[in-house]
Structure 1
Amino acid sequence: MKIRKLMILVFAMGLGVLLAACGGNDEEGSSRKEDKAINLAYVEWDSEIASTHVIGKVLEDLGYDVTLTPLDNAVMWEAVAKGEADASVAAWLPVTHGAQYEEYKDDIVDLGENLTGAKIGLVVPSYMEDVNSIEDLSKHANMQITGIESGAGVMQATERALQEYANLKGWELVPSSSGAMAVALGEAIKKNEEIIVTGWTPHWKFAKYELKYLDDPKGVFGGEESIHTFVRKGLEKEMPEAYQVLDNFYWTTKDMESVMLDISDGMSPEEAASKWVEENAEKVAEWTAGIE
């Protein structure tokens, strides 16, 4: 009887230890969940809306409390450099965000390319058959170029083009927004009118319309661009799993444009991102390999 009572006592003590351990794990899990709040900054271009919502959805599915914060070009870089935001997948290099990279490169961690084959330049509808180079422009489109937000790299490059190309003397670069530029392009195409816009790839407009880049013999717009991921210092130590996903994040122009096109056709960014994540489970599994 004494042995039986002793066994019951040992069992009860063991069960108590087990329950205490489980309770401790719950508290630890809650702590980890609280620590899994992450803020992704991005510039509010169609391409970056797509990529940021996709990577945000992947992190959300892993249990992160994700905040997506649209910011101006320079502010996006400053926010990550100061630790006010944790990361961004929206760095266009070497031209578009070249100035911001030079200013903040010592205060951020560059995780490298998440997309290659990007490009910026002047874009026209394909039906403008007599224009194939910037040097071909004369009195086209009332000597106006429809731009996006002032301060964007493609706008700065276009300002340089107005100085470099003698045939663009007297031309005007009209700033607007990426959305307003796309609307103006669509309206012009409906009417078969001439229009020159500041353009970049990837962008859904190339999937929706027949467009072409104008040759840039002076190389003002640079060559091929790539989009990079950058994070704040200390993120790898504090959120290693999120860091891994961000470091592994890589997709194609076709991937990005499919999300952008869904958004332009009426889906919310959240819906379009969820659709892409669901349809590309194998690719997402490569980003999240080893994370449960």
Structure 2
Amino acid sequence: MIKRKLTGILALGAAASLALVGCSSDGGSANGDGGDKGTITLGFLPSWTDGLSTAYLLENQLEKLGYDVEMEELTEAAVLYTGLANGDIDVYPSAWSEKTHATYMEQYGDQLEDLGAYYDNAVLTIAVPEYMDDVNSIEDLVGQADRFDGEIIGIEPSAGLTEQTETVMMPEYGLDGDYSLVTSSTATMLATLQEKIDNEEDVVVTLWRPFWANDAFPVKDLEDPKGAMGEPEALHFLATGGFSEQYPEAAELIESIQLDDAAYGSLEALVTGDEYEGDPEGAVEAWLAEHPDAFPGLIAD
């Protein structure tokens, strides 16, 4: 199951584009009819599956309200925030805007509109395989760089997780002299993690919660006694400035969405899992059938 799910995420990452022009795809109406209230563009990174899952949930609900929805797949948070500020993207459906993406909010916040938080317990983590019995805290990495080839395996260079790890956590624990943070993409990080686990080798990676990989791989979060990875934060729906004035009905629906751990976990599991592989729209419909009362204003049919 791990390899099948990872293959799907790798494919999504390969399909995504850095450009804002020429890479959007019309998701088609969930009820088979085109919308007549305007077109709303959702921007997300497919490899960050919180945004992937909520993007398809919003696509479903907005189309049922009568909007056309375009799905814009990107590979860097910097490009996404720029597009959101410029109005090329209407909604980012899972922004870590309170802490992890604070740098982007300082730069673009006055051009954006916060439509509220849908999940309130997101955290950044440093993780190792469960079989590493003697490594249970970030402090245990000190003096152990040779075991990891001096590398912490990270994700995209523009990710807030990357910044937090490199500029706060590593200096705080004195790891910046012996370790380097290797950045590339979420898919590459997961492929490296898979390979190391298959060979039962030592590896340390940057992760976060909620994220399906925490359950799919035998990994454990390292304790962070210094709090260097930050406190839990909420995940927000961010819109381009003036969105609620242009699309008041859409804004009202989006603002009503709040998911608990069970509802969110079920949504992500269905969208990224094997049962609906290649059919995220079908996954969302299945989730709606299972959670008809997940949030006020949910449109089931």
**TM-score when normalising by structure 1:** 0.80
Code of the residue aligned with 1:218 in structure 2: it is K
Greater helix content: 1
Structure 1 segment 25-36 matched on structure 2, within 5 A: 33-36=35-38
Q: Which residue of 2 aligns with 1:108?
A: 112
Q: Per-residue displacement from partner, 1:20-46 (whole Å, max 9, x unpaired)?
A: xxxxxxxxxxxx944331111123312
- Percent of pairs with identical residues: 32
Q: Paired residue for 1:267?
A: 277
CA RMSD across the alignment: 2.3
Structure 2 match to 1:148: 155
Specify the structure having the higher radius of gyration (Cα).
1
Q: Which amino acid aligns with 1:39?
A: T
Per the alignment, residue 297 of structure 2 pairs with: 287
- Spell out the pairing of 1:1-292 with structure 2 (5 A cutoff): 33-44=35-46, 45-71=48-74, 72-137=76-141, 138-139=144-145, 140-160=147-167, 161-262=169-270, 263-265=272-274, 267-268=277-278, 269-283=280-294, 286-288=296-298
The 8 Å contact of residues 292 and 298 in structure 2, kept in 1 or not, is answered as no
Q: What letter corresponds to residue 212 of structure 1 in structure 2?
A: K
The residue identity in structure 2 corresponding to 1:79 is G
**d(CA) in 1 for partners of 2:249 and 2:218?**
41
Please give the alpha-carbon distance, in whole angstroms, between the structure 2 residues aligned to 1:57 and 1:186: 33
1:212-260 superposed Cα distances (whole Å, 9 cap, x missing partner): 2112233221111211112223222222211111111211343333333
Amino acid across the alignment from 1:65: D
- For residues 195 and 153 of structure 1, the distance between their equivalents in structure 2, rounded to whole angstroms, comes to 21
Corresponding residue SS for 1:192: coil
AA paired with 1:279?
E
1:39 and 1:67 in contact (8 A); partners too: yes
Deviations 1:169-228 (A, max 9, x none): 221211121122222222322332221111000011122233221122332211112111
Shift of 1:277: 2.4
Could you say if the C-alpha distance between residues 57 and 242 of structure 1 is closer, same or farther in structure 2, counting changes exceeding 3 Å? same
Query: Which residue pairs with 1:20 in the alignment?
Result: none
Residue 89 of structure 2: SS of its match in structure 1?
A: coil
1:9 aligned residue:
none
Distance (whole Å) between structure 1 residues aligned to residue 180 and residue 108 of structure 2: 31
**Does the CA-based 8 Å contact 1:89-1:114 persist in structure 2?**
no
> 8 Å contact 2:51–2:94 — kept in the other structure?
yes
Moved over 6 A (4+): none
TM-score (norm 2): 0.78
User: Please, which runs of 5 or more residues in structure 2 have no aligned partner?
Assistant: 1-33
Instruction: Give the CA deviation at 1:147.
Output: 0.8
CA distance in 2 between partners of 1:136 and 1:261 (Å):
32
Deviations 1:53-108 (A, max 9, x none): 11211212222211111232122222222222221222103221110111111111
Contact 2:256 2:297 in 1 (8 A): yes
How many angstroms does 1:122 deviate by? Answer: 0.7
Q: Distance in 2 between the 1:212 and 1:180 partners? A: 19
Query: Any idea what the Cα deviations from partners look like across 1:135-185, whole Å, max 9, x if unmatched?
Result: 101133222111111111111111123333224522121112112222222
Structure 1 alignment gaps of length 5 or more: 1-31
